[in-house]
Copies of this chain bind each other. A is one copy, B any other.
Amino acid sequence: MISGSGGRVGDSARAVWRFLLGPPLRAKELGKEQITPVEGLSALSLDALTSVAYGPEAIIVVLAVAGAGALHLVLPITIAIVALLAMLVFSYRQVIVAYPAGGGAYAVSRANFGPHAGLVAAASLVVDYTLTVAVSIAAGVGALTSAFPSFSSATVPICLGILALITVLNLRGLGETARAFLLPTMIFIVGLLAIIAVGLFHPLGLHSPQPGRPLLPTRSLQVVGVLLVLKAFSAGCSALTGVEAIANGVPLFKEPRVQRAKRTELLLGVILGAMLLGLAVLARRWHVGPRSGQTVLSQIMATAVGRHWAYFVVSLAITVVLSLAANTSFGGLPVLASLLSRDDYLPHLFSLRGDRQVFSNGIWALAVMSGALLVAVGGNTQTLIPLFAIGVFTGFTFAQSGLVLHWRRERPRNWQYRALLNGAGAVTTAVATVIFLLTKFTEGAWVVVVAVPTFIFLFVRIHSYYDKVHRELGLGTAPDKPVPCDAIVVVPIIGVSNLTRYAIGEALSLAREVIAVSVVLEDADDQTDRVRELKEEWARWDPGVRLEVLETEYASVVDPIVEFIDELCRVHDEQVVVLIPAVIPDKLRYQLLHNHIDAVLSSALRYRPDVVVARSPVRLEDLKTRRR
């Protein structure tokens, strides 16, 4: 905490911010901010769980193209997807054990394929985290505006409001976030599982299927091609996005964090698999097809329990939970960014913790990127969904292929079996990635294709710059001894006053040679008088320091001083110090009333090497009484 009289400045703004974020935390209090498996579900798995709101629908939409007869394929395709889910859960539980520091796909790829593959995975993840935030918030707000159409004109402001809320909650610390999200997550999980169970228990459902014609093409059953099945499978795989988040966020768990993270991953797999299978069985049994204005999930829920309180409560929970799914990324990206930053691939800013011990710069970066994305697409989910599976699936592919090599190297018991399983998983997700890219390229996938290489380029450039810095700093080698030399202090002044006296006194404390400089503008008619007057005044005062009067025809006071210092540096070998006197007003608002020559001069000299710029601040009321 900054204490003392200087702390007055901007105090009220700081107080509001402190109230929003809570007091600073000690590193030891960090445990408070770490999470249990159940909290982990709400903190890191909402992205994966809420995929049930659009995954099954994506399959049915693709199959419906081939006619109502093709809809029965929803069950086998879902079974395949759940098999892939099982494989991914199995893989990521291994990833958690192998790389408990988090970072998921990035850490695995880096360790197994070398830094370059790691960067590809990292870039994909950065893009994906950003897209997840945007998609989840947009989908949540979309659900809200469907329920309350009068809000639909304010879609973007509502999206940004929710984003701001999530950002502040995360800046406070993830643990509190997880707790805040616990209730809606539980309502969503328990409620939806209960509704599915009711549907399965009453084979015909408690209620008859929805009235109204399903949106099916009128042509009859066609031959269902392999390509269509593959497309439906790939589309349905969007239900798997987010499965990786837990492995990336292991350091957020309470100790024993590896066990807790593994347990959370398994819990997620079981719940998500059960939901997907249950929904597929019900969709097939009730011949659910795509329908305008009502989602597949909503149709199934309404058929199972009717449009009563249970339906509305779970629907509302889905709305809340969808918009909170963004939190998954806020759990993941800052940790990933801190790892990249420690490996010199991102600015070191990202590995600094904020007052609440969170990686606040990563949180801010994610908020800004996803906010820009939401504004760019106008809060429209449909524009975003095709993009965001690509990043995740690239990550899946790298993580699984990395594990194959890991097993080959480590050779634990049954390693061939494990390698085969992960190899099959890698091929499957690679195929899904390619199909996604090909079928969705013009629908926006090109953005990902551009963004990922851009991030990789950025990482590589940053890394090579840090390499250079390390060499130049000579880290690891003992440098020569420091060599002092003489110094000249230049003090810009306006006239003879108590402020000048104070600054000259400070300058004389630092060096024997002190030069006062003053700029006189030629535009005033009495300019020559002013020069003579100033020199006379100086001579009368006789402070024992030379005065240089710089005359200029231009309006800038700063340029002549900078030129004078340039000349001084050329001629002298001494260390040149510019000491700028600055009055500190007793209230911040009076700051505007003082000529800002100090600020302008400091910024003009800011990037000039070899000139030390010193600011000598003194309180107005101290000027008369100060000893020096």
Contacts and interface: CB of A to CB of B under 8 A. Distances in A.
Interface of A: 1-6, 8-9, 24-28, 30, 347-349, 352-357, 462, 465-466, 468-469, 472-475, 478-487, 495-502, 504-506, 508-511, 521-523, 537, 540-545, 553-559, 562-563, 566, 575, 577, 579, 583-585, 588, 590, 592-596, 604-624, 627-628
A194 B104 CA distance: 81
A4 B566 contact: yes
B523 A555 contact: no
Contacts of A609: 5-6, 584, 617-619, 622
Given A555-B353, A606-B617, A501 B479 contact: yes
Given A500-B479, A559-B2, A484 B509 contact: yes
B510 A577 contact: yes
Contacts of A622: 609-610
23 contacts: A2-B604, A5-B608, A6-B607, A24-B555, A27-B521, A27-B522, A28-B522, A348-B594, A349-B596, A352-B555, A352-B595, A462-B593, A472-B621, A475-B495, A484-B505, A484-B509, A487-B509, A509-B511, A606-B615, A609-B619, A610-B618, A610-B622, A614-B615
B543 A482 contact: yes
Nearest to A573: B627
A317 to B, nearest CB: 35
Nearest to A569: B4
A478 B495 CA distance: 11
A592 B541 contact: no
A618 to B, nearest CB: 5
B499 A473 contact: yes
Contact of A509 (B354, B478, B486): B486
B482 A497 contact: no
A496 B482 contact: no
B482 A355 contact: no
A602 to B, nearest CB: 8
Q: How many copies does the complex hold?
A: 2
- Counting chain B CB atoms within 10 Å of each CB, which of A355, A509, A545, A594 scores highest? A509
A588 B465 CA distance: 13
Contact of A498 (B355, B472, B497): B472
A355 B556 contact: yes
A320 to B, nearest CB: 31
A574 to B, nearest CB: 8
Nearest to A579: B612
A436 B545 CA distance: 62
Nearest to A604: B2
Contacts of A541: 478-479, 481
A504 B482 contact: yes
A614 B617 contact: no
A594 B607 CA distance: 14
A28 B527 CA distance: 13
Contacts of A594: 348, 469
Contact of A1 (B27, B480, B559, B621): B559
Contact of A606 (B6, B349, B502, B556): B6
A579 B474 CA distance: 21
Nearest to A578: B614
A614 B614 contact: yes
A400 B66 CA distance: 88
A523 B359 CA distance: 13
Contacts of A623: 472-474
Given A485-B509, A505-B483, A620 B472 contact: yes
Contacts of A555: 24-25, 27, 352-357
A312 to B, nearest CB: 39
A458 to B, nearest CB: 11
Contacts of A596: 349
Contacts of A348: 593-595
Contacts of A620: 468-469, 472
A616 B578 CA distance: 11
Nearest to A474: B498
